[in-house]
Amino acid sequence: MTSAVTHATPDTGASPSPHGVTFGEAFRVWLRVAALSFGGPAGQIAVMHRIVVDEKKWIGEQRFLHALNYCMLLPGPEAQQLAIYIGWLMHRTAGGLVAGILFVLPGFLSILALSYLYVTLGSVDAVEGLFFGLKAAVLAVVIQAVVRVGGRALKNRAMIGIAAAAFLAIFVLHVPFPVIILSAAIIGFLGSKSGSRLFQSGGGHRSAGGAVLSDADALLGEEIPDHARPNLRWSLRISSVLLMLWLLPLLLLYLFLGPDDIFTQIGVFFSKMAMVTFGGAYAVLAYVAQEAVQHFGWLKPTEMLDGLGMAETTPGPLIMVLQFVGFMGAYRDPGSLNPMTAATIAAVLTTWVTFVPCFLWIFLGAPFIEKLRGNAALAGAMSAITAAVVGVILNLAIWFGLHFLFRSAEVHSLGPFSIELPVWASLSLPSLLLSLAAAIAIFRFKLAVIPVLLGCAVAGMVWPA
């Protein structure tokens, strides 16, 4: 082991690639993956698998799944981290940087353009109708996420209990999302350590049927490339650089603008999110909405739905919705800057602190992932986290539904417990009908998310709320 750590080839990114795939070709492939990365993580991973494994034959099926399993253990968007991982395997650090940046860039530009449209033309009937329709579709999509994730994760009474406890914790007690995730991880880790079969997991993402490409037949082969072997010196060097890129802007904001400035608040808050976004965008959005709407006052509840609608209809990770949250926060509190200028800076800052850590997790941990294979206790922790995420997403669905279907709600409290209930007389019939139509399209007719979103957007424009 010592020899592997101290004598591995430095990851300079300059040596030729034995697999024969040029850096220029890889750039074009990652640009194509980025342009097609619609439909959430499942769709994005399927696109990546089809192009990188089935079509280009860069890596084999088992290596792809092994990399994916590692990315699923990390906070942040697993599809983007998988792109970084494969890019790094193929073309070292430069390859990982290109793959990860291109995966985010189209979504960033698209949501920035939509954000400009939102704040400048949001009062126009057609634009209001468009976002009204998107809200209805998003509500149905979030409910679908509850069903899909729950069907995969809640395999026994222990997982159902964790999901129920997580739901009550966030819905009634308003326990912070990171505390719920940490508690679930500890329960799963200890449960698996005890030998209980209730915490053993399986499954995950699976590829479509057909011939399976073996690692030996792939261009990269089945051996570990020299640059992918553990190299402690390289790991410490790259981690130091990425930590500086991530945290130095926050330190400068704190020192020069102070802790109460909107940019400092945005940078610190979304840096925290980057460390706890287990379970994907749907899971963390409940906590983001709770803090951004109720604590910071950056945006309104229905605007969170508008932002998620943007993220659903543009390429890139769904977590890009955080960019819209930061944009709206600075737009409403620009300080001495022009509101649009402040909002643009906040969008860039939010994206920066959200995605720079993704490169850190991959570059630091990927060379050591062999140590994670077959770790039963770690798998148990992830099973419990996934179960807790189901309860959190259910809370998100109820929260969205409450603020979209009803014009007003009331908070009822009893000691440490509090619950927000709708004022039934404020039910919006157009919202209810369009949401039901979206749910029927998804659950009864099995339509894909993008057609449902586009259909609801058109319906909202011709039937303004």
CA distances to 128, 358, 372, 424 from 278, in Å? 33, 12, 17, 34
Q: Are 409 and 420 in contact (CB under 8 A)?
A: yes
User: How far, in Å, CA of 29 to CA of 24, rounded?
Assistant: 9
Report the candidate in 183, 94, 105 with the shortest Cα–Cα distance to residue 381: 183
Residues 6+ apart with CB under 8 A from 309: 131, 134, 135, 137, 138, 453, 457
Q: Are 171 and 398 in contact (CB under 8 A)?
A: yes
For residues 141-151, give the mean pLDDT. 82
pLDDT greater at residue 72 or residue 452: 452
For residues 35-64, give the mean pLDDT. 81
Strand partners, 105: none
Q: Are 2 and 203 in contact (CB under 8 A)?
A: no
What would the two tokens of residue 32 be? 């194509």
Whether residue 374 is predicted with pLDDT greater than 70 in this model: the reply is no
Report the candidate in 11, 316, 333, 69 with the shortest Cα–Cα distance to residue 204: 69
- What local confidence, expressed as pLDDT, does residue 310 receive? 86
Structure confidence by residue, pLDDT tens digits, 327-340: 999 999 999 999 99
Structure confidence by residue, pLDDT tens digits, 281-305: 666 777 788 789 888 999 988 888 8
pLDDT band, residue 367 (cuts 50/70/90)? confident
Global confidence as pTM: 0.75
pLDDT band, residue 15 (cuts 50/70/90)? very low
Rounded-to-5 percentages of helix, strand, coil across the chain? 75, 5, 25
Least confident of 78-92, 233-247, 311-325: 311-325
Report the candidate in 204, 197, 202, 188 with the shortest Cα–Cα distance to residue 377: 188
Report the candidate in 408, 412, 460 with the shortest Cα–Cα distance to residue 438: 460
DSSP letter at 414? E
Strand partners, 241: none
- What local confidence, expressed as pLDDT, does residue 372 receive? 59
User: How far, in Å, CA of 10 to CA of 14, rounded?
Assistant: 10
DSSP letter at 73? T
Whether residue 20 is predicted with pLDDT greater than 50 in this model: the reply is yes
- What local confidence, expressed as pLDDT, does residue 202 receive? 45
Report the candidate in 377, 38, 432, 63 with the shortest Cα–Cα distance to residue 190: 377
User: How far, in Å, CA of 404 to CA of 136, rounded?
Assistant: 8
Report the candidate in 373, 384, 371, 389 with the shortest Cα–Cα distance to residue 186: 384
* DSSP E strand stretches across 128-182: none
Report the candidate in 28, 27, 24, 47 with the shortest Cα–Cα distance to residue 37: 47
State the amino acid at position 408 in one-letter form.
S
- What local confidence, expressed as pLDDT, does residue 164 receive? 96
Report the candidate in 353, 340, 53 with the shortest Cα–Cα distance to residue 213: 53
